[in-house]
């Protein structure tokens, strides 16, 4: 365990991939931290070539490089909360888990980036197993989407009862709290999330925003939870505040590119830009 002087300024660390299009990954996380007045630090796991239409290339960093970034930040600056995003492969996941243990990192938010909101696999079976059995048990909270929850549990999720059962099974794997996200569910369940902490199950819902510009919502939610934890909010409040933030950001999603644009992380500033016709809100 490393001893360090805690900063008077809240600090959060994101361990994730770079999105060259700026809508998700490290870029979304750092903007989310900044919105919450939390200093953002980062450890890149991979570099992607992507835009609003998709990903054309992914290059992984060496696990040793990922570990060095984490250690360098923690030993000097210290962090009050950490989130993980795209970890890409088994070796990187194992390296990150080792650092979490060795450095005694608290308030770990694990966004298990395994499957996209459309059901497309993003990592291989070995990486999925490492996430499930090695990193997830170290999580303060894990935030799977429906497809990821199906992989974790082997259940088919079609309704709210299925979501609640899956959240309970994921909790049994070791995470302190599970937030199962319903963004991929149909009809009235779209956007309904299930919280389970081992004792209570809560159904969380916010206003549904009708927009197809949703790139980066999962990254943004997990980063916001980490930011609120760094601000010493309790976990349940952090989740609800983060859902509210994402809902507002979706309301000001950016209509850029030719595909799915990103959420408007800096939405309080957008009113000053809207008069120029560059940005449009959906709320």
Does 1 map to a domain? no
**Weakest-pLDDT range from 90-94, 167-171, 212-216:** 212-216
pLDDT category at 281 given cuts 50, 70, 90 is very low
**Please, which contacts does 62-66 make with residues 24 or more away whose CB atoms are closer than 8 Å?**
63/91, 63/92, 63/94, 63/95, 64/95, 66/15, 66/92, 66/95, 66/96
Is 82 a residue of the active site? no
Does 279 map to a domain? no
Active-site residue, selected from the candidate residues 181, 233, 243, 260:
181
Has residue 69 got a pLDDT over 70? Answer: yes
The number of beta carbons lying within 10 Å of the beta carbon of residue 156 is 9
Active-site residue, selected from the candidate residues 23, 32, 219, 260:
219
Is 37 a residue of the active site? no
Is 104 a residue of the active site? no
Which tens digit of pLDDT belongs to each residue from 128-153?
999 999 999 999 999 999 999 999 99
Does 92 map to a domain? yes
Q: pLDDT at position 208, please?
A: 84
Q: pLDDT at position 36, please?
A: 96
Does 220 map to a domain? yes
Has residue 79 got a pLDDT over 50? Answer: yes
Answer for the pair 67, 98: CB distance below 8 angstroms, yes or no: yes
Is 176 a residue of the active site? no
pLDDT category at 283 given cuts 50, 70, 90 is very low
Q: pLDDT at position 270, please?
A: 65
Does 117 map to a domain? yes
Is 218 a residue of the active site? yes
What CATH number should be reported for the domain holding residue 42? 3.40.1190.20
Active-site residue, selected from the candidate residues 21, 25, 85, 216:
216
Active-site residue, selected from the candidate residues 140, 153, 211, 217:
217
Is 217 a residue of the active site? yes
Contacts of 277 (CB under 8 A, 6+ apart): none
How many domains are contained in the chain?
1
The number of beta carbons lying within 10 Å of the beta carbon of residue 93 is 28
- What tokens does 156 get? 């088919």
For residue 200, report the phi and psi dihedrals to the nearest 5 degrees. Answer: -125, 150
Does 4 map to a domain? no
pLDDT category at 2 given cuts 50, 70, 90 is low
Does 281 map to a domain? no
Does 112 map to a domain? yes
> Which range of residues forms the domain containing residue 177?
11-274
Answer for the pair 41, 79: CB distance below 8 angstroms, yes or no: yes
pTM of the entire structure? 0.92
pLDDT category at 212 given cuts 50, 70, 90 is confident
């Amino acid at each position: 365990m490393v001893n360090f002087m805690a900063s008077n300024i809240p600090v959060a660390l994101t361990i994730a991939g770079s999105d060259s299009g700026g809508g998700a990954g490290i870029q979304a996380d750092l903007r989310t931290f900044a919105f919450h007045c939390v200093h953002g630090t980062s450890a890149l796991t991979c570099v992607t070539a992507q835009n609003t239409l998709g990903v054309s290339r992914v290059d992984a960093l060496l696990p040793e490089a990922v570990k060095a970034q984490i250690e360098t930040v923690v030993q000097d600056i210290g962090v009050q909360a950490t989130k993980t995003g795209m970890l890409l492969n088994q070796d990187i996941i194992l390296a990150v888990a080792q650092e979490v243990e060795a450095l005694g990192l608290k308030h770990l938010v694990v966004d298990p980036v395994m499957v996209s909101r459309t059901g497309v696999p993003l990592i291989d079976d070995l990486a999925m197993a490492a996430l499930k059995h090695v990193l997830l048990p170290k999580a303060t909270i894990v935030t799977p989407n429906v497809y990821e929850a199906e992989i974790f549990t082997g259940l088919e999720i079609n309704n709210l009862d299925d979501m609640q059962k899956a959240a309970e099974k994921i909790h049994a794997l070791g995470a302190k709290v599970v937030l199962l996200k319903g963004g991929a569910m149909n009809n009235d369940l779209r956007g309904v999330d299930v919280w389970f902490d081992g004792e209570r199950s809560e159904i969380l819902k916010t206003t549904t925003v009708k927009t197809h510009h949703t790139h980066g919502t999962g990254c943004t939610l997990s980063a916001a939870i980490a930011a609120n934890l760094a601000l010493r909010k309790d976990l349940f409040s952090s989740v609800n505040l983060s859902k509210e933030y994402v809902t507002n950001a979706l309301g000001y999603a950016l209509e850029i590119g030719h595909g799915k644009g990103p959420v408007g992380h800096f939405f309080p500033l957008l009113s000053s830009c809207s008069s120029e016709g560059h940005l449009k809100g959906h709320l």
